[in-house]
């Protein structure tokens, strides 16, 4: 059965652009929240598959400001999901993850699109120890270049909110999975159902919020992250708890919240210097 958007949903914008729509999160949201948006524009450099009557697909490269400006034009809000989704070398990240997030904010400024839901990452604070509860107001401690690029995106979000009046919610996504599959997920899991609730809260928040940072996490008993007062005001109420799966997983044993993402060699770009020495 074809999805039919629900007319007159309170406070949700009528026209929403989703960048990186071919990815895991974009695909999931298309089956949940985005069915309730009257007009959805999907954008990616990859095909998104068959579209529903309320959807349209427009190819756009995030590194091209002209293309991003064209795909942003005429929308009420942007869910920015696009970019390389994990740790890799700087040359691969700098286009989609640095230039790309700048182009999204700049395109929204130029086209007067008032709201961006900026998908950040928990990897922005991966080097914080496991015995500290974070609320999004502490100093960033990225666990790699990917996290550092997300910190750049949050800094841009703050700039565009303060200087140009853009409303931005930076969502530090946890471990987005159908169900927890490793020990770390007991602390970081974001379920698909809670992701839909989270992004709905971000889209439906009143105008004038400025830049708000929120951790994108389910209601996990062992969560390392709480919500600050500004983020709580968005009305996000997660319901799922990774504890339901705890008997299938071993306890987490790493000293830092980022776990394996903090390891020297993770991502392949930072081989140890002595590995290149000859006897």
Enclosing H/E stretch for 79: strand 77-80
Measured distance CA(39)–CA(53) in Å, rounded: 9
Per-residue DSSP letter, 58: E
| From 146, 160, 215, 236, active-site residue | 146
Identify whether the C-beta of residue 200 lies closer than 8 Å to the C-beta of residue 33: yes
Measured distance CA(121)–CA(188) in Å, rounded: 11
Contacts of 8 (CB under 8 A, 6+ apart): none
Contacts of 276 (CB under 8 A, 6+ apart): none
Phi, psi of 75 (to 5 degrees): -100, 165
Catalytic, 261? Answer no
Residue with tokens 């830049």: 211
Catalytically active residues are 146
């Amino acid at each position: 059965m074809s999805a039919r958007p629900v007319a007159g949903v309170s406070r949700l914008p009528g026209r929403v652009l989703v960048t990186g729509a071919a990815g895991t999160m974009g695909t999931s949201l298309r089956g949940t929240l985005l069915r309730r948006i009257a007009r959805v524009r999907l954008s990616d450099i990859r095909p998104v598959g068959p579209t529903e009557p309320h959807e349209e697909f427009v190819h756009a490269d995030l590194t091209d400001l002209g293309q991003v400006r064209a795909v942003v034009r005429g929308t009420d809000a942007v869910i920015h999901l696009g970019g390389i989704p994990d740790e890799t070398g700087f040359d691969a990240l700098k286009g989609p993850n640095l230039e790309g997030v700048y182009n999204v904010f700049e395109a929204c400024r130029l086209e007067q699109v008032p709201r961006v839901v900026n998908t950040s990452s928990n990897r922005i604070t991966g080097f914080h120890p496991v015995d500290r509860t974070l609320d999004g107001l502490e100093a960033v401690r990225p666990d790699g270049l990917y996290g550092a690029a997300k910190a750049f995106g949050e800094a841009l979000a703050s700039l565009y909110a303060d200087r140009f009046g853009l409303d931005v919610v930076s969502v530090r996504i946890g471990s987005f999975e159908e169900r927890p599959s490793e020990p770390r997920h007991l602390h970081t899991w974001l379920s698909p159902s809670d992701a839909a609730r989270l992004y709905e809260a971000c889209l439906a928040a009143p105008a004038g919020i400025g830049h708000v940072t929120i951790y994108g996490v389910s209601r996990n008993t062992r969560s390392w992250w709480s919500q600050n007062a500004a983020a709580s005001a968005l009305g996000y109420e997660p319901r799922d708890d990774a504890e339901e799966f705890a008997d299938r997983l071993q306890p987490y044993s790493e000293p830092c919240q980022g776990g394996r993402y903090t390891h020297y060699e993770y991502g392949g770009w930072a081989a140890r210097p002595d590995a290149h020495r000859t006897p």
